[in-house]
Amino acid sequence: MMNEKYDFLIVGTGLFGAVSAYLLKKKGYSILMIDKRDHIGGNVYTENVRGINVHKYGAHIFHTDNKEVWQFVNSFVEFNRYTNSPVACYKGHLYNLPFNMNTFYQMWGVKTPEEARKKIEGQKNEYHVNSPQNLEEQAISLVGKDIYEILIKGYTQKQWGRKCSELPAFIIKRLPVRFTFDNNYFNDKYQGVPNGGYTLLIEKMIEGCNVHLSIDYFDHKEELDACANRVIYTGEIDKYFGYKYGHLQYRSVSFETELLENVENYQGNAVVNYTDVETPYTRIIEHKHFEYGTQPDTVISREYSKEWLPGDEPYYPVNDDKNMELYAKYKALADAQEKVFFGGRLAEYKYYDMHKVIERAMEMVAHF
């Protein structure tokens, strides 16, 4: 593969790499893609187990307000009508998410939006939070102390390995707070999961590209760079620069996946979050429910969050002030590269959802 010359080398077959590949190919460019994993798709990869598409790297629900992005993904595969409505389990009690009238009723027995608002206002005033500076203050000011203690504090501490008072406020603002009886986890206009799984989506995007798996860019960097005019890099930005200024921090996740034979329905929902701090996992995913599966068996994954250590897969960038300062230094180096373009969750060190990754790839390719 390295004897030929390509217009682009794309490092990573995740969503950013795949969207870039599709759009560049359409413009007539030749493309070589590599991935260090033995499969395509990055973290959206799904694997078929007994007819169930297992989300190998965690639950992935596509949602966007951007019609162009929605039409774009649906042009490859049809998306179903899946609407994410996780249930939270705290010490044996179940609550609906995101925070809405169902949650407020389950928490306090309040039946009207006015009663719920009063309850939250009362709890918020006790804490005197005016302009929230961190996740704890933001959470209390949005939903009050009870919901913070029961549904947020333990879960967040497990997921991020840090206290809520040490985390940026924006993380909790990802979740809607609603005074209607509506358990839809997202506010976006469009939402769903691809029929047939995300791997199929990625396969369709990269059709016709020259793809090589199980190749780490850094093991063959010189030869690979020499065979392409330009490089799109979607791996960790700090690694690209040899950790010159030190390591950026990431959260890693490990998944304990189990096939339960002759269990048709294990938990009745695709996602159940365990929000107490004692349960070691953050959530259990039952994959068949993403596609309304009726198979006789089921597959579940327990998700454990941990600090990233060299050798682990990096999943979530830790966007606190310290890491963002370090990232800014790497970004300056990246911006100075003429031939290499950095994109995606790891290369831009951003907590991007899938639709944002697609928008970014579209923006980047428009410049070529």
* Alpha carbons 344 and 324: distance in angstroms, whole number: 16
The sheet carrying 298-307 orders its strands as: 93-96, 87-90, 271-274, 283-286, 298-307, 250-260, 316-317
Stretch that binds ligand FAD, among 98-106, 222-230, 333-341, 348-356 (CB under 6 A): 348-356
Is 300 a binding residue for ligand FAD by CB under 6 A? The answer is no
Nearest to ligand UDP of 13, 156 (CB atom): 156
Q: Does 24 bind ligand FAD (CB under 6 A)?
A: no
Q: In the complex with ligand FAD, which residue's Cβ is closer, 6 or 104?
A: 6
Q: How far apart are CA 193 and CA 159, in angstroms?
A: 24
Task: Please state the closest distance from residue 160 (CB atom) to ligand FAD, in A.
Answer: 13
What is the distance between the alpha carbons of residues 368 and 357, in angstroms, rounded to a whole number?
Answer: 18
Among positions 126, 166, 216, 264, the unique one binding ligand FAD when judged by CB under 6 A: 216
Q: Is 334 in the site for ligand FAD (CB under 6 A)?
A: no
Does 62 contact ligand UDP by CB under 6 A? no
Helix axes 113-127, 135-147, angle to 10 degrees: 130
* Residues assigned a catalytic role: 174, 178, 251, 283, 303, 351, 353
Identity (one letter) of the amino acid at 8? F
> Which residue in the set 43, 100, 123, 273 belongs to the binding site for ligand UDP (CB under 6 A)?
273
Q: Alpha-carbon distance 317 to 307, whole Å?
A: 11
159 binds, among ligand UDP, ligand FAD, none (CB under 5 to 8 A by kind): ligand UDP
| Piece in contact with ligand FAD (CB under 6 A), picked from 87-95, 131-139, 324-332, 345-353 | 345-353
Taking CB within 5 to 8 Å according to partner kind, which of ligand FAD, ligand UDP, none is near residue 349?
Answer: none
Residue 267, SS3 per DSSP: coil
Question: Among residue numbers 82 through 111, which ones bind ligand UDP (CB under 6 A)?
Answer: 88, 97
- The whole-angstrom separation of Cα 327 and Cα 347 is 10
- Residue 182: name the closest of 240, 102, 106 by CA: 102
Query: Residue 202 in 3-state DSSP?
Result: helix
- The residues, ordered by sequence, that sit 6+ positions from 252 with a Cβ below 8 Å of its Cβ are 305, 306, 307, 308, 309, 312, 313, 314, 315
Minimum distance from CB of 113 to ligand UDP (Å)? 22
Q: Residue 249 interacts with ligand UDP (CB under 6 A)? A: no
Return d(Cα 44, Cα 54) in angstroms, integer. 10
Interface with ligand UDP includes 138 (CB under 6 A)? no
Sequence-ordered list of residues with C-beta below 8 angstroms from that of 204, at least 6 positions apart, any chain: 76, 77
Span 246-265, contacts to ligand FAD by CB under 6 A: 253
Among 6, 9, 42, 89, binds ligand FAD (CB under 6 A): 42
Q: What does 52 bind: ligand UDP, ligand FAD, none (CB cut-off 5 to 8 Å by kind)?
A: none
Amino acid (1-letter code) at residue 104: F
Which helix (DSSP H) or strand (DSSP E) does residue 90 occupy? strand 87-90
State the residues that interact with ligand FAD by CB under 6 A. Answer: 11-17, 34-37, 42-44, 57-62, 216-218, 234-235, 253, 315, 344-346, 352-355, 357
State the residues that interact with ligand UDP by CB under 6 A. Answer: 88, 97, 151-152, 155-156, 159, 171-172, 174-175, 273, 275
